[in-house]
Chains A and B, each alone.
Chain A
Amino acid sequence: MARKTGWGETLLGLAILAALAGVGTAVYFEQFRPHPAAYSADKPDYLPPPAPRPAAAARPSRVNPPEGMTALGPSEYFDPDTLYEKIDGRAELYLPAGFRSLECRRLGIPGDEDSVVETFLYDMGSPRSAYSVFSQQQREDAEPRDFTRYAYLAENALFFCHGSYYLEIIAGTAAASAREALRKAAAQVMADLPAEPADLPELARLPEAHRLAGHPRLYRTDGLGFAPLTDLFVADYQIGEFQLSGFVCARGSEAEAAKLAQAYQQFIMDDGAMLLPPIPELPDARVLDFYGTWQVLFTRGPYFAGVHQAGDRLSAEQLALLLDRQLSEAAP
């Protein structure tokens, strides 16, 4: 016959079960309240530091001093997890565009403080991504440079793309020796990097007439604030007294382009845009009034194109017709 347990044993058993249940319950509910630090792989500084990164010497530098200049230290390397350590909030521009790594190194001519330049070599993973970050941060008064397809010189710095790489070479001054150092450093880094075709066919779909100086911008994500609008090229135009933008993006097929155009139209209509009568010469284009600015949307084959934020209807129509002509000429 089975032995009957005493009250003492029963209470002890219940107490143990209760303790276990308490722990389990606490763990269950705490998991819903993670600390922000828990989102990251790193630890707060007051905890043991993470393992040191591989020594810089273990990685081959792609930024080397040209003849007559010396490196002022080894290269520094950053990946998507550490990019913000070097460029803080600006990392938010690079990361969505496909950033892979950054190498930084200072070079200079011995004895000449003005000649010190810092090279930022961003590996963006593709020529498209490199162009995207290049085009979104152009400087005013930039002087175009043709040593590579996408490049410009500011007073104290050179900005350019080379295949999948976006480069910034920055001096602290605009002195003549600084500008010479920029030129030499750029030539060296280009010689050391592999050549890579960087053709972006959509650029040729944006008409040149009335276009403002500078390179058209490429948004790899969230074009015009609409998440599905990826790989969107935007150029600024001046027609009459109005400044406006024209845009184009390519899709895999005519049907995909049409679907995207419809979705974007719905997106802005949900935000208050109102349909207006069409342009007689472009009857399939949608014209919309968006809080006092004119938008035009249409598709040509696999391209979705349009006019954004025109100050008046006339300039919007004019740019839409230019875009239509450019895209029609490009049609196979």
Chain B
Amino acid sequence: MSRPPLDPERREFLARGLKAAAALAATGLAGHALGWRTGRADREEVHDWPVPDFSQPAADPRLAIVTGPDRTTNLRKAMEALGGWARFVKPGDGVLLKVNAAFASPATLGATTHPDLVAEAVAQCLRAGASRVVVTDHPIHDQASCFEWSGIGAAARRAGAELWVPREDDFAPVTLPGGRLLRHWPFLKGPFKGIRRLIGLTPVKDHYRSGASLTLKNWYGLLGGRRSVFHQDIHTLIAELAQLVRPTLVILDGTTTMIRNGPTGGSLADLKATDTLVVGTDPVAVDAFGVTLLGREASDLPHLARAAAAGAGTASYELLNPVRIQAGAS
């Protein structure tokens, strides 16, 4: 038995339905192709805040390693070896000091940048002619307590710096071109206004997740949002920060090193006198040396190799012919 032929209305309905489906599919595919070509990452790069590059043209010496028990003396010696503060801070410059004030714990426990180092750096920047020096960090919890208990707030103010405690509207999204994690992520932009020099100051610490907390990890404190999600891929994040944040100078304080139970520590037994301070223009090189103070090697920190491969510096710090100085006590 043969089927009855389609009536004209039914045939027309099917034809229209097919055309509509074809139009839907074509539009969808075209839209997807277009969206892929001018993808979100590209759009973010255009609209997000471009973190300025504060690095200076490479010139020797780029790395100074000073040994001695007094961090203030060590810093003075290191800066002399690198050509003095005037090489890095010009009259009229605004200088931003990014410290580690992540915890509301006293300086004696070594979890934060030592206030003596902050005071010395602020004073020297001002002496070099800086128009203003801003000290900042973005502790996640109870920021005011972190700056006060660590002694950083008082030291900064006493030395003549402006203490910048981040507010909600200080953050703007940033995107690392080609980055995987740093895409449209909130970044502490506020204190960068009018800044021409960026200096990182941080202690050497063991870190439960990343192996070590050194100068590159210090930039983590510039991130806003729920940044703890990055702990699952901390080495990628630190390598991306190394590409995003290009400082004028970094200062790594290994006068005492938190050799275990970092990054919080808590016991004086977690600290070891390693009597070393490193200053350099290449944060990757500084960290590659710094990790040795923890009894580890650069190869133990995968983010160093990744940062170096991305062009953020060299993990072979010896190639920079570091100036080595033995400093006495103050």
Say how far A25's CB is from chain B's closest CB, in angstroms. 4
At the interface, yes or no: A228 with Cβ under 8 Å from chain B?
no
Residue of B nearest to A36 (CB): B229
Please state if B209 and A92 are interface contacts (CB–CB under 8 Å).
yes
Question: Per-position contact with A for B272-312: 1 when CB-CB < 8 Å, else 0?
Answer: 00000000000000000000000000000000000000000
> Which of B27, B108, B168 is in CB contact (< 8 Å) with A45?
B168
At the interface, yes or no: B115 with Cβ under 8 Å from chain A?
no
Please state if B264 and A21 are interface contacts (CB–CB under 8 Å).
no
Stretch at the interface among B56-64, B85-93, B180-188: B180-188
At the interface, yes or no: B141 with Cβ under 8 Å from chain A?
yes
Please state if A46 and B269 are interface contacts (CB–CB under 8 Å).
no
Please state if A37 and B225 are interface contacts (CB–CB under 8 Å).
yes
Contacts of A89 in B (CB 8 A): 207-210, 213, 231, 234, 262-263
Contacts of B24 in A (CB 8 A): 17-18, 21
| Docked complex Cα distance between A139 and B109 (Å) | 14
Question: Per-position contact with A for B3-30: 1 when CB-CB < 8 Å, else 0?
Answer: 0000001000000100110011101110
Listed from nearest, the 8 A-B pairs whose CB atoms lie closest are A172-B106, A45-B224, A25-B28, A85-B141, A89-B209, A44-B225, A18-B27, A154-B267
Contacts of A93 in B (CB 8 A): 208
Say how far B221's CB is from chain A's closest CB, in angstroms. 10
Please state if B208 and A139 are interface contacts (CB–CB under 8 Å).
no
- Decide yes or no: A33 and B40 within 8 Å by CB, A49-B168, A86-B141, A168-B266 being known contacts: yes
Say how far A181's CB is from chain B's closest CB, in angstroms. 14
At the interface, yes or no: A40 with Cβ under 8 Å from chain B?
yes
> Which of B40, B185, B210, B226 is in CB contact (< 8 Å) with A40?
B226
Contacts of B109 in A (CB 8 A): 156, 170, 172
At the interface, yes or no: B268 with Cβ under 8 Å from chain A?
yes
17 A-B pairs with CB atoms under 8 Å apart are A13-B20, A21-B23, A21-B27, A22-B27, A37-B226, A40-B229, A43-B225, A84-B140, A86-B141, A89-B213, A91-B228, A93-B208, A139-B260, A139-B267, A155-B267, A156-B109, A173-B108
Within 8 A of B (CB), among A53-96: 76, 82, 84-93
Residue of A nearest to B228 (CB): A84
Residue of B nearest to A120 (CB): B266
Residue of B nearest to A155 (CB): B268
Contacts of A21 in B (CB 8 A): 23-25, 27-28, 31
| Docked complex Cα distance between A37 and B186 (Å) | 10
Contacts of A314 in B (CB 8 A): none
Within 8 A of A (CB), among B197-222: 207-210, 213
Contacts of B28 in A (CB 8 A): 21-22, 24-25
- Decide yes or no: A46 and B261 within 8 Å by CB, A139-B267, A170-B267 being known contacts: no
At the interface, yes or no: A209 with Cβ under 8 Å from chain B?
no
At the interface, yes or no: B255 with Cβ under 8 Å from chain A?
no
Say how far A210's CB is from chain B's closest CB, in angstroms. 24
Please state if B35 and A84 are interface contacts (CB–CB under 8 Å).
no
Residue of A nearest to B259 (CB): A140
| Docked complex Cα distance between A293 and B169 (Å) | 56
Interface size on A, residues (CB 8 A): 54
> Which of A33, A40, A44, A86 is in CB contact (< 8 Å) with B224?
A44
| Docked complex Cα distance between A92 and B263 (Å) | 11
Contacts of B147 in A (CB 8 A): none
User: Taking each of A13, A21, A43, A174, which has the highest tally of chain B beta carbons within 10 Å of its own beta carbon?
Assistant: A21
Contacts of A159 in B (CB 8 A): 267
Within 8 A of B (CB), among A138-172: 139-142, 154-157, 159, 168, 170, 172
> Which of B102, B142, B186 is in CB contact (< 8 Å) with A76?
B142
At the interface, yes or no: B103 with Cβ under 8 Å from chain A?
yes
At the interface, yes or no: A137 with Cβ under 8 Å from chain B?
yes
Contacts of A37 in B (CB 8 A): 185, 225-226, 229
Contacts of B173 in A (CB 8 A): 44, 46
At the interface, yes or no: A291 with Cβ under 8 Å from chain B?
no
User: Taking each of B181, B224, B268, which has the highest tally of chain A beta carbons within 10 Å of its own beta carbon?
Assistant: B268
- Decide yes or no: A26 and B35 within 8 Å by CB, A88-B103, A155-B269 being known contacts: yes
- Decide yes or no: A2 and B268 within 8 Å by CB, A37-B185, A90-B263 being known contacts: no
At the interface, yes or no: A29 with Cβ under 8 Å from chain B?
yes
Please state if B261 and A139 are interface contacts (CB–CB under 8 Å).
yes
- Decide yes or no: A88 and B263 within 8 Å by CB, A25-B28, A46-B186, A76-B142 being known contacts: yes
Contacts of A141 in B (CB 8 A): 269
Please state if A157 and B108 are interface contacts (CB–CB under 8 Å).
no
Contacts of B320 in A (CB 8 A): none
At the interface, yes or no: A208 with Cβ under 8 Å from chain B?
no
Within 8 A of A (CB), among B171-197: 171-173, 181, 183-186
| Docked complex Cα distance between A173 and B16 (Å) | 83
| Docked complex Cα distance between A306 and B302 (Å) | 32
Say how far B319's CB is from chain A's closest CB, in angstroms. 30
- Decide yes or no: A14 and B208 within 8 Å by CB, A25-B31, A49-B168, A139-B267 being known contacts: no
Within 8 A of A (CB), among B88-107: 102-103, 105-106
User: Taking each of A14, A36, A120, which has the highest tally of chain B beta carbons within 10 Å of its own beta carbon?
Assistant: A36
At the interface, yes or no: B270 with Cβ under 8 Å from chain A?
yes
Residue of B nearest to A21 (CB): B24
Not counting A89-B231, A118-B105, a sample of 19 additional A-B residue pairs whose C-beta atoms are within 8 angstroms of each other reads A14-B20, A21-B23, A21-B27, A25-B27, A25-B29, A26-B31, A39-B229, A45-B186, A86-B141, A88-B102, A90-B264, A91-B231, A140-B269, A141-B269, A154-B268, A154-B269, A155-B268, A155-B269, A172-B105
| Docked complex Cα distance between A21 and B27 (Å) | 7
At the interface, yes or no: A222 with Cβ under 8 Å from chain B?
no
Residue of B nearest to A1 (CB): B9
At the interface, yes or no: B127 with Cβ under 8 Å from chain A?
no
| Docked complex Cα distance between A29 and B213 (Å) | 38
> Which of A43, A91, A92, A139 is in CB contact (< 8 Å) with B269?
A139
